[in-house]
C-alpha cells in the first residue's frame, strides 16, 4: 500500500485511512463477498426532557433499606450543605469511629472522610460544615485524650486543628454561607473558657467565656449552639436533668 496509509478493501468500496475524507471508488478484485449480518439499528432517543428522579414521598421516610448495613451503625451528628452533600460522624462495632460524606439518595453511599492521622479522635460526635459543596469548610470533634478537633481541607480530607487544651464537645456549628465561622461548646468543666470560636474554618480557635451573669457555673454549662455569622451566636446552657441527692440512700446493692 501507499506509504503512510492503511488500505481497507471490501466489496466495491476502498478507503485509505488518513487525515483526508474517504472518497475513493475502485473496481473490486475477485468475487463480491456475501454481506454479513445487519447490525441492530441505534435506538431512537426518547423525545422530550429526561424524566426526573422519583421524588421522596411526603412525611418521614427511611431512605436506607433493611438490614441497614450500608452506613455507620451509630451516628452522633450530621450537617448538610445541600440535599446531596451531608457529613455524618459515627461508627460501627469493630470498625471504629469516623466521618463520612453521604449523598442523600435512596440507599445512598457513605464515603469515608480521611483524617490526618487515621487513628484520629477515638469518638467523633459532632460535625458542622458550610460553604460550597466542592470545597466545604467546617470541623468535626468529640472526645478523646490528646486528640484535637479536625477541620476540612477538602471534600474528603480532614487535618488536625492547631493546639487546644483537652476539650469535650457534642456539638459543632459552622455558618452555612462560608463554613469559615466555627463554634463549639466545651463540655469539659476544667477549662475556663466555655466556647471556642474560629474565623478560619477550624484551623485555630479563640476561647470565649460566657459571663457569670448569664450562666450559673454551679449547675449549668454550655451544651449546644449554632453560629449564624461572625457576630450572631445562639447557645443553649443548662445542666443535665438529675434528681436531688438522697439524704438517706438505700444500702448496697440498691444504692
Residue 124 pLDDT exceeds 80: yes
- What b/e string do you get for 215-229 counting C-beta neighbours within 10 Å, with b at 16 or more? beeeeebbbbbbbee
Residue 76 pLDDT exceeds 80: yes
Residue 72 pLDDT exceeds 50: yes
Mean of the pLDDT values across residues 84-102? 90
In this prediction, residue 80 carries a pLDDT of: 97
Residue 121 pLDDT exceeds 70: no
**Count of Cβ atoms closer than 10 Å to residue 2 Cβ:** 8
The number of residues making up the chain comes to 255
Confidence of residue 190 (pLDDT cuts 50, 70, 90): low
Nearest-Å Rg of the Cα atoms of the chain is: 31
Confidence of residue 182 (pLDDT cuts 50, 70, 90): very high
In this prediction, residue 12 carries a pLDDT of: 46
Residue 113 pLDDT exceeds 70: yes
Ranges 11-15, 75-79, 109-113, 219-223: which has the least confidence: 11-15
Distances (CA, A) of 53 to 43, 56, 61: 22, 9, 17
pLDDT tens, residue by residue, 10-67: 444 444 434 444 444 444 445 554 544 444 454 455 566 655 656 777 888 888 888 8
**Count of Cβ atoms closer than 10 Å to residue 106 Cβ:** 12
User: Where are the domains positioned within the chain?
Assistant: 74-237
Query: How high is the mean pLDDT of the chain?
Result: 76
Q: Which CATH class is domain 74-237?
A: mainly beta
Mean of the pLDDT values across residues 209-214? 74
246 against 35, higher pLDDT: 246
In this prediction, residue 59 carries a pLDDT of: 86
* Cα angle 113-133-68, degrees, rounded to a multiple of 5: 50
Amino acid at each position: 500500500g501507499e506509504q503512510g496509509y492503511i488500505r481497507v478493501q471490501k466489496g466495491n468500496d476502498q478507503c485509505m485511512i488518513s487525515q483526508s475524507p474517504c472518497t475513493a471508488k475502485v473496481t473490486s478484485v475477485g468475487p463480491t463477498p456475501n454481506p454479513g449480518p445487519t447490525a441492530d439499528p441505534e435506538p431512537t432517543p426518547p423525545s422530550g426532557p429526561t424524566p426526573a428522579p422519583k421524588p421522596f414521598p411526603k412525611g418521614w421516610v427511611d431512605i436506607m433499606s433493611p438490614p441497614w448495613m450500608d452506613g455507620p451503625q451509630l451516628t452522633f451528628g450530621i450537617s448538610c450543605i445541600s440535599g446531596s452533600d451531608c457529613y455524618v460522624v459515627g461508627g460501627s462495632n469493630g470498625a471504629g469511629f469516623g466521618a463520612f460524606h453521604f449523598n442523600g439518595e435512596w440507599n445512598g453511599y457513605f464515603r469515608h472522610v480521611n483524617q490526618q492521622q487515621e487513628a484520629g479522635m477515638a469518638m467523633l460526635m459532632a460535625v458542622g460544615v458550610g460553604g460550597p459543596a466542592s470545597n466545604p469548610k467546617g470541623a468535626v470533634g468529640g472526645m478523646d485524650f490528646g486528640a484535637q478537633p479536625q477541620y476540612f481541607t477538602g471534600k474528603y480530607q480532614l487535618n488536625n486543628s492547631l493546639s487546644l487544651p483537652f476539650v469535650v464537645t457534642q456539638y459543632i456549628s459552622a455558618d452555612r454561607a462560608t463554613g469559615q465561622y466555627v463554634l463549639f461548646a466545651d463540655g469539659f468543666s476544667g477549662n475556663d473558657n466555655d466556647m471556642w470560636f474560629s474565623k478560619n474554618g477550624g484551623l485555630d480557635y479563640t476561647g470565649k467565656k460566657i459571663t457569670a451573669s448569664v450562666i450559673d457555673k454551679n449547675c449549668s454549662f454550655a451544651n449546644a449552639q449554632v453560629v449564624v455569622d461572625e457576630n450572631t451566636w445562639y447557645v443553649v446552657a443548662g445542666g443535665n436533668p438529675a434528681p436531688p441527692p438522697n439524704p438517706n440512700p438505700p444500702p448496697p446493692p440498691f444504692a
